[in-house]
Structure 1
């Protein structure tokens, strides 16, 4: 039983259960009413995907705490750790790849099949498309692995064995391990002595070895994930705290009377009727002339009007509670907005702390300061749980801003956005698509944490996986060694801030619903 931290195991089980509940909440929060009592298989897949993303991120602090289950004086090779973290990491990454490239595409194909088809026909449709998807990704991955699936380690040439001491002194690499007597040439000082010599020589050599296939899958998934993570995290670092603070600033200040509620409800009905007329016109124009440039512009404008209409409808429900106890419902609403303000301040501190840490620890070699690494080590010295909890909070914040960036911008294809998520109005195919994006970005978030907290997470299983093979993988090693993705992420952080500065506070500030009603329907 030695070496087992039962408290750590209990915390792991509790956090795992909370991750499932979080995934369930996100599903219900974003789900469209049309999918309320159907599409059960896609719903299960979404819950599995979001849960796996959370588990993968929280496995990092568990890995760090797991290493500390044994005394620092015990070598890693002789330490019986609490959990087999290396196997857990490989299981998480492989499950991530299976969900992203196999299960989620199948669920999307099944969901988007013709609703009038039978269950067997929908399964056949999904299986055919899934087979094509798996073959395509399999060929790409197999060809890349066959051609460039190698790791290259730079090594210094060493030679060892019994050599005369004089030969070593001539090469300038004298060592003090000459304890083997012998006979050989030499001056009076070294006569008759041989050494267990180590002669480094000059220059370096490259050892090229085949990478293991599971690790290669992890590397490719993480590289693809970085293309998403650098965008989503870059936007999320700014949007996550800003949107929470904006919600508080634009919160409703008081409830309204029943007569005012009727007035605003009629105004919403008139707006909804006008939107419907425009939509009918667009449908007729599409049948007659197709989706021309003018039509696409009108379609984007009507989409924004629909979003505003939905937001105003929900805001109207807030200021006129219709529960059995309206006073209690309004008190919960007010409390919710103040909690958002607190969350906005905390997340703003976390965003700034993360960015400062990257600049001090990752952008300069040698690092200017270990910063958060030192903080976690200090907290562990006070009480081991403190450092682990702080480390988990900082790591989990990455997945939170990734989800925020994903829901904020969707997937940008050239000049338009697809698969954007909206609260209470997201169909399951869009939910599945964004879950796949989050899973891919999670792999990049793990690599980012492994690199950013290399000092604190030293000798952990994930540090071994990333440091030994992936950072030396042919074709992609320079992307990680030169922090190319991290610099790109900072570019998106700066671009988001710049856009907000150009648009100005009047554009990005959340408009109060009272202000919108007063401006549109005064008099």
Structure 2
């Protein structure tokens, strides 16, 4: 039998899970706003758990690959006892993320942003009302779609064995040929036939998919809609922003008089933003939530984010505290680190684009490219291939967050929730956690398809490659690479946009009179 358990893999899994939770606790402490310290404990728990489950889901892909190595290649898959029940783990993690996205994170976010004048029960009930409406709409949509089109259509080929009824005239059959009179074969009458007789017929077998698989497919489509836009922008802007941050870094410390002058200007603009926010609050109380009001609110959020950036820049060029020289040294080292990360991000972005073109869009593929790289790294040392594989998957999540911030700040398409060290409110945390959870589902599918040679015969391949990619009504999106093509188009447009604007950030508004109320 195939009892080939790898107990070391179980230990690695437990250690990696604990490390994810500890790392996300540090991320929460490092990024949280000072006003949220020692309060908002429930949102903090949701943030840590949401980030951890999203990271674990991405790490499960290389774990699935390693789990296949528990049995040698000469053992039949059905006779192998794998180290971990990956299929059950995949379904469990996906259902948890679905509940987090559709229920837990929205309730927490609505509760956190509810009117502070409401009581605890009032804020909870207000949050539940919003989420109940969302659940009703999503539940009806997925339920009706599952009832109508919740089938997996498998294309199959029907063949016929070489045996034919006695007395059949074999003359003219494409799979038979005349070999002369054969005395020992009176039935065949001098004809010899292939094992397959007749033309191969193509058929379609329709099987009802399981409901969890259909839920995963629907959530994956929603995640793809965000992934192809945000990651398409972020795959260009992420390395560009890191490199430009180094290019535009402060070269020296400013004097005290310059600091006072710049701090006074920031204070003046902060007062203007405060007046604008009061005006918007009065208009909201009067029921004037028009389209112009919403646009002014987006512009206010944009300017608040930019003002916080200016304040951070000012604190860098005029370090204060007990050891200002040491703080300046850390600032310089931080910008050089961004340069290194920017170069690495540029290489990873180029590798992703080349891999998509050479392996996913060309039929037949020109080269397995990154698949061969991961296999070669695994041959040298198993953690090299697994680590590189995880790096490419996590990089897409980073691109999503970069694209979200760029689109929100530059085009005012939505309220941007940027994450900044010591300046991230819990609403921003919760929004980005929901975004990461939703996009991580599509990232896993994207990586499973892009690296199917490396991830061959894994359980996630059975979920995506065998079932979801053949779901009725959705299969065309994957077989024709619709999402991937749109991703490349958006990446190309983003590159043109960055080259034209030279990566400049959004223009800063200076005067209150510039805004139309």
TM-score bin, normalised by smaller chain? 0.7 to 0.9
Q: Aligned residue for 1:481? A: 479
Question: In structure 2, which of residues 376, 379, 382 is the aligned counterpart of residue 381 of structure 1?
Answer: 379
How far 1:184 sits from its partner (Å)? 7.1
Distance 1:292 1:117, change over 3 A: closer
Q: Tell me the CA shift for residue 275 of structure 1.
A: 4.2
User: Aligned partners of 2:147 and 2:436: how far apart in 1?
Assistant: 28
State the Cα distance separating 1:508 from its structure 2 match. Answer: 5.0
Name the structure 2 match of 1:519.
none
How many pairs were matched up?
Answer: 500
* Alpha-carbon shift at residue 360 of structure 1 (Å): 0.1
Q: Is the 8 A contact 2:302 2:409 kept in 1?
A: no
C-alpha contact (below 8 Å) 2:153/2:205 kept by paired residues: yes
Which deviates more from structure 2 when the two are superposed, residues 316-325 or residues 295-304? 295-304
What SS is found at the alignment partner of 2:201? Answer: coil
Q: Is the 8 A contact 1:149 1:473 kept in 2?
A: yes
Could you give the per-residue CA deviations for residues 275-294 of structure 1, whole angstroms, max 9, x where no partner exists?
44555566678889946787
Root mean square deviation, CA, Å: 3.3
In structure 2, what is the equivalent of residue 454 of structure 1?
452
SS at the partner of 2:118?
coil
TM-score, structure 2 as length reference: 0.86
1:334 is aligned to 2:332: yes
Cα distance, 1:380 vs structure 2 = 2.1
Asked whether the 8 Å contact 1:102–1:130 carries over to 2, the reply is yes
SS in 2 for 1:156: strand
- Cα deviations across residues 256-313 of structure 1 (Å, max 9, x unaligned)? 3444433433343344344445555666788899467877776665554433332222
User: By how many angstroms is 1:353 displaced?
Assistant: 0.3
Alignment correspondent of 2:217: 219
Q: Which residue of 1 aligns with 2:367?
A: 369
How far apart, CA to CA, are the structure 1 residues paired with 2:402 and 2:44?
20
C-alpha separation between the residues in 2 aligned to 1:482 and 1:197?
A: 35
CA distance in 2, matches of 1:297, 1:142: 35
Deviations 1:210-261 (A, max 9, x none): 1111111111111111011101110110111111112211222223344443
Deviation at 1:209, TM superposition (A): 1.1
1:13 aligns with 2:33: no
- In 2, are the aligned partners of 1:245 and 1:340 still within 8 Å (CA)? yes
What is aligned with 2:307? 309
**Of 429-438 and 206-215, the range deviating more from structure 2:** 429-438
| Shift, 1:13, TM fit | 2.9
Separation (CA, whole Å) in 1 of partners of 2:434 and 2:412: 22
Cα pair 1:240 1:404 within 8 Å, conserved: yes
Given that 1:164 and 1:185 are in contact with CA atoms closer than 8 Å, whether structure 2 keeps it comes out as: no
- Within the candidate set 219, 236, 245, 1:247 is matched to 245
Conserved? CA contact 1:101–1:134, under 8 Å:
yes
Contact 2:57–2:440 under 8 Å retained in 1: yes
Whether the 8 Å CA contact 1:229–1:441 is kept in 2: the answer is yes
Q: Deviations over 1:439-468 (max 9, x none)?
A: 111111111111101111111111111111
Distance change (3 Å), C-alpha of 1:167 and 1:493: farther
Alpha-carbon distance change, 215 to 287 in structure 1, aligned in 2, over 3 angstroms = closer
Q: 1:442 aligns with which of 416, 440, 443?
A: 440
Moved more, 485-494 or 385-394: 385-394
Decide whether the 8 Å contact of 2:170 with 2:176 is kept in 1. Answer: yes
* 2:180 matches 1:186: no
CA gap 1:392/1:189 in 2 versus in 1, 3 angstroms: same
Q: Which has the higher mean CA deviation after the structures are superposed, 280-289 or 366-375? A: 280-289
Distance in 2 separating the partners of 1:486 and 1:243? 24
Shift of 1:327: 2.4
Q: What is residue 87 of structure 1 aligned with on the other side?
A: 88
Aligned CA distance change for structure 1 residues 235 and 369 (closer, same or farther; 3 Å): same
**Equivalents in 2 of 1:422, 1:97: separation in Å?**
23
Q: Specify whether residues 280 and 344 from structure 1 end up closer, same or farther in structure 2 by C-alpha distance, changes over 3 A only.
A: same
CA gap of 1:153–1:138, structure 2 versus 1, over 3 A, is: same
Query: What is the TM-score when the length of structure 1 is the normalising length?
Result: 0.86
Q: State which of 327, 339, 345 in structure 2 corresponds to 1:347.
A: 345
1:24 has 2:25 as partner: yes
SS of aligned partner of 1:16: helix
